[in-house]
Amino acid sequence: MGAEFLYIKNSKNDEISRLLESFGISVKEKDEIFTENALISNNSKADITAPEIDWYLKHSSAPLFVQASNIKSMYEARAIVYDFSKTEFESADLGNKILIISKSDESLNRLSAKISGFADVYLSDGSDIIGISGELGSIKVRLQKGETEECIDVSQIAVENPSESLLKLGGIVAFGGEIEDDSVVSKLQSRIGNFEYKKVLSYDSAICQYNERQTPLCKACATVCPSMGVSADDSVMKLSFSGVECSVCAEGGCVSVCPSGALEFQSFSKESFFEVSKLFKDKIPFVVPEYLIEDLDIELRHDLLPFVISGAKFLEEWAFLTLLGESGSQVIFYSKKVAPGTLQAIEMLNDLYTRVFNTKAIHLCKDKESLAEAMQSATCVDGSFIPLTQTNAPKKRQDVAIRIARLIGNNDYGKLDFYEFTKYGLVEVDKDRCTMCLGCATVCNVNAIFADQEKGELLFSAPECTTCGYCEAVCPEKCITVARDGVHLNGGYFSHKTLVADEPFLCIECGVPIAPKKAIEKVTAMMTPFFANDMFKIKSLHCCPACKARLSVEAFAEQKFGAGEGL
């Protein structure tokens, strides 16, 4: 059996090798021949390659023991991601037909001469095209040929300088301008025939704020998707996911804008992110996408530990707040591209930390100059270490609420702004008009509004509310108002609030509470005219389910056998 962690020596420094071996990491010479199968290594002789290890050794000036300890943590981080990964691989036959569109004959001929492997290559200047639909591997192109309409099926389309709307359609590859032909050809030819891809997302429709709603209140994921990986169909109020198209982005930008946590980035699951974050206690986390490491030449601080991620777009307030709380330090995030949801989460948490600690939470760096500055200024933040266990909260918003509530204590730090994607606010109910029908609690799929039947109370949990407004839309009395005004930084905001209270109505047969009195009175007033003089049906409105079933059997027996006859 091979070693779990394998280090291939890249230098003559034997001391770091001895230290790594003392941590249980197998060390081998670069040219040594061996047959062991390792799980993780700093080069390709393993199932998982961790390039950040050699990169860290090259750029860190920390004492050797600190370097070895940090390298051990980097191996462990990779192992945790592997253990908790929900990544699944799928495949699809994409075919081998291509359409090239350009108004320039020279461009058409140049690109068509460079590509190979396609059974059919169609050329068009675009003037005869009247419609394009479908996704990568299955695209229908409608053409106007004189007075007749024709249709061709292709797997990909290369378009010179396409519009943004056309680029969003699956299977479209841009060429021309500053885009080199070689990169275009490489991309096109990599997607011919059988195509294997990672399933990027998992989806919980039960807490989705769009799925099967009566009105399209939220479809942020489909809006920010750069392809057709996520699409929304308002006619049936359902999201559709294309694994092939999703692989075009493969960074989870849709995850960062999902307010309820219905979408999860499978390459870096919630569980793995939480467990990896615990490795950063008393360290400065340096979050960086793996694809940026190779060209990043910068000196690393002694107390800094790289947090390597597979994509930069899936990070949202839960992820950042988890890393902040488990490390007790500011976070450095280096990425040349930042998703809208990620950017708003950073703004929100920087506002939070400025109010509570008079310093920022996250150093967002998009270039090497700002990164070098952050390397100098990032620090541990006294009072920000908020460790949680994995069982503290099953949902991301509950975790966020716990951490913020602990940060602010009994103080009042004002209010954080409401953002388009980091949605927090309040719900108010006109108590005089509310009949306690509980329709709002029924449709709230994140349990921000819920009922305590025994106490006859309608309760509200502000941190869990995504301010979708569905409760407001379905309320028959129109007595609900949703205030989209952000997070209130006081203890009351993070406690359950009673929206309406009413004495419980007790079952007239057995005396157990069955619903708020207002709700029973409303239902009785509505249904009595339809029941005419049927006293059994009227009586059943005031009974619990068990007694209602018993009364139903008794009524049937009386009708069939007569009073006092029994079954």
Helix axes 64-84, 270-277, angle to 10 degrees: 160
- Are the C-beta atoms of residues 339 and 257 closer than 8 Å to each other? yes
Sequence-ordered list of residues with C-beta below 8 angstroms from that of 173, at least 6 positions apart, any chain: 156, 157, 158, 159, 184, 187, 188
The pLDDT value given to residue 273:
94
- Are the C-beta atoms of residues 154 and 122 closer than 8 Å to each other? yes
What are the start-end ranges of the H helices in 89-163? 105-114
- In this prediction the pTM is 0.83
- Are the C-beta atoms of residues 540 and 548 closer than 8 Å to each other? yes
The pLDDT value given to residue 248:
64
Cα three-residue angle 371-374-380, rounded to 5 degrees: 145
The pLDDT value given to residue 567:
42
Question: Is residue 330 very low, low, confident or very high in pLDDT (cuts 50, 70, 90)?
Answer: very high
- As a residue count, the chain comes to 567
pLDDT one-digit tens code per residue, 181-239: 999 999 899 889 988 887 888 999 999 999 999 888 899 999 998 877 898 888 889 99
Q: What is the percentage of the chain residues whose pLDDT exceeds 90?
A: 62
pLDDT one-digit tens code per residue, 80-99: 999 988 777 888 899 999 99
CA distance 104 to 112: 12
Of the ranges 225-229, 464-468, 524-528, which one carries the lowest mean pLDDT score? 225-229
Other Cβ atoms within 10 Å of 556 Cβ, number: 12
CA distance 27 to 41: 10
Tokens (6 digits) for 478:
């129109």
